[in-house]
Amino acid sequence: MGNFGLILVLDLIFLIYPVVYGYDPMDPMGNITIRWDVTTSTEVNHQIRVSIFNYQLFRHVEQPGWKLSWDWHGKEVIWQMWGAETTEQGDCSAIKGDTPPHCCLKEPVILDLLPGAPYNKQVVNCCKGGVLTSLTQDPEKYVSSFEMSIGSASNDGSGPRMPENFTLGIPGYTCGVAVKVPPTKFHEDQGRRQTQAVATWDVICSYSQFRASSSPACCVSLSAFYSETIVPCSVCSCGCQGQRSAAQCVKRGEVPPVIQLGHNELPTPILECTRHMCPIQVHWHVKQSYREYWRVKMTIRNLNLVRNYSQWNLVVLHPNLRSITQVFSFDYKPLDQYGDINDTGMFYGIKYYNDMLLQAGRSGVVQSELLLHKDAGIFTFNEGWMFPRKISFNGYECVLPSPDKYPMLPNISQFLAPSILTIIVFSFCLILTMF
C-alpha cells in the first residue's frame, strides 16, 4: 500500500513536472501551435499545409526566426515546397524520376523564406524570415505558413505517415506529440465557399525560461521623488563581471571590438560593463503625486552594443494598472487573463516611432510616463506599494531589487522631533526669561 502510494506520488510529480516548467502565470494559455493540414491526398502523395501560430500574449519569435524540424518514420520525401525551404537536400540518389525531390533527409530542417521571395515560391502567410509577432502586438503577423507535397519511397507502396519529434529551433520551446483534431475549414472565393482539410493534426509547443537560458536578461532599478536613494539593479543580477560564464563587456569610453553580423544568427552579446551585467535595464521612477493621481516615469535601457530589439515589449504587474489613466509615448494593452483583476498590462513601442530599441549608446533608450488614479482603499505610499510586483522584457523576467532596499518614505516623526539646536535655543530662551 505504502509503496503504491509512493509510486502514485512519483507518477504525479513526473506528470506535473513538464507542465509546471512550461507555465507562465502572466500568460497561462500561451503556446505556439504547429498545425499540419493534409489538403489533398492520393494513396502515395499528400499535399500538406503547415502553419505555425504564435498564441502567446507577449512573447514573440525574433530573428533569426523559427527553424522547424521533425523525424519521418520511414522513407518519406518532400517533393516540392512553397513558402519555405529545407536547409539541405540530403541523399536523393535512391529516388528515380525526372526532377529530384526537394529533400530526402529523415530529419529535415525547414526555414521560412525571406521577405521578397520569388512570386511563384510564395504562399499566404509565408516569407517573413521566420519572425512572428505576439497575438497582442500585431494580430496580422502572428502566423506563418508553408506548403509542400510529400510522398514515400518505401517499396511496400504505403503512403507518407505523420512525423514525430517536432522542434521549433528556438531556445526554450519544447513540443508535444501530434494530436489529431477536427479538420480545418478553409474559406475560398472571398468567403463564399468553404472547403475542408482531409485530416488535421496539432502539435503544441510551450516555452520555459528555465530551458531558454540559465541566467536572466533584464533587471529593474527604482527611485521616488520623496527619497534621494536610487535603488540600483542588484549586483550580478544577470552575471558577474569577469566571470567566465558572463557576457563580454566593454567599459564606457573603450572601443568595442568589431563584430561580423551573420544574417542567420544573433551575435553573442557584448555589454556595456555594469555591476548587474544585464543587457536590459528597466528604471521605474515614482515621479510625482497629485491629489487624485500619481505619475511614474519608465525608462528601458539597452546595454547590449550589438543588438537592436525590434518590436520590444514590457509586461508589468502592478495592482494600480486597473486604473491607468494615460500612457505617454508607448502603446498599452491590458492583459486580462484572470477576468476582473486587471493588474497586468503590456507596454510596447509606437510603430515607426519607438518600436525599435536601438543598441547601447545614447540612442539605446526608450521612455514613457504613466498617469494612474489613486484608488481609494488600495493606494498607499507605504511598503513599496508604488513599485512594480513583476516586470518582463520580451517575455524575459526581470530581476527586481529585494524589497528591504526600496526607497523609504521620509520618516514623519523624524521631521517633528526637535533637533538638538532647537533644544539648546529653547533652553537658552527659557534661561533668559527666568532672569
Ligand X SMILES: *[C@@H]1O[C@H](CO)[C@@H](O)[C@H](O)[C@H]1NC(C)=O
**How many other CB atoms are found less than 10 A from the CB of residue 274?**
20
Closest CB to ligand X: residue number: 71
Instruction: Give yes or no for residue 59 binding ligand X (CB under 6 A).
Output: no
Please report, to the nearest 10 degrees, the dihedral formed by the alpha carbons of residues 373, 378, 382, 385 taken in order. -70
Choose which of 359, 365, 373, 374 interacts with ligand X (CB under 6 A): 359
Under 8 Å between Cβ of 201 and 225: no
Cα separation values, 227 from 257, 410, 416, Å: 39, 7, 18
Collapsed DSSP state (helix, strand, coil) of residue 186: strand
Least CB distance from residue 245 to ligand X, whole Å? 23
Binding-site string for ligand X from residue 157 to residue 186, where x marks contact by CB under 6 A and - marks none: -------xx---------------------
CA–CA separation, 246 and 303 (whole Å): 14
Nearer to ligand X, 40 or 380 (CB): 380
Least separation in angstroms between CB 27 and ligand X: 10
Residue number, 111 or 135, with CB nearest to ligand X: 135
19 lies in the binding site for ligand X (CB under 6 A): no
Smallest gap from Cβ 217 to ligand X, in A, equals 16
For ligand X, which is the closer residue by CB, 69 or 281? Answer: 69
Q: Toward ligand X, which CB reaches closer, 68 or 222? A: 68
Cell of 220: 529593474
Q: How far apart are CA 173 and CA 168, in angstroms?
A: 7
- What 336-344 contacts at long range (C-beta under 8 Å, 24+ apart), as own/partner pairs, is 337/26, 337/27, 337/28, 337/29, 337/57, 343/317, 343/318, 343/319, 343/389, 344/26, 344/315, 344/316, 344/317
The one among 95, 204, 236, 250 contacting ligand X by CB under 6 A: 204
CA dist 122 and 297 (Å) reads: 45
Task: Decide whether 100 or 256 has the Cβ nearer to ligand X.
Answer: 256
- Compare residues 140 and 340 and give the one whose CB is closer to ligand X: 340
Candidates 219-227, 300-308, 311-319, 409-417 — which segment interacts with ligand X by CB under 6 A? 300-308
Q: What is the separation of C-alpha 247 from the centre of its chain, rounded to a whole number of angstroms?
A: 20
Per rule CB under 6 A, count of chain residues that contact ligand X:
19
List residues near ligand X by CB under 6 A: 29, 31, 33, 55, 71, 73, 164-165, 204, 306-308, 322, 334, 336, 340, 342, 358-359
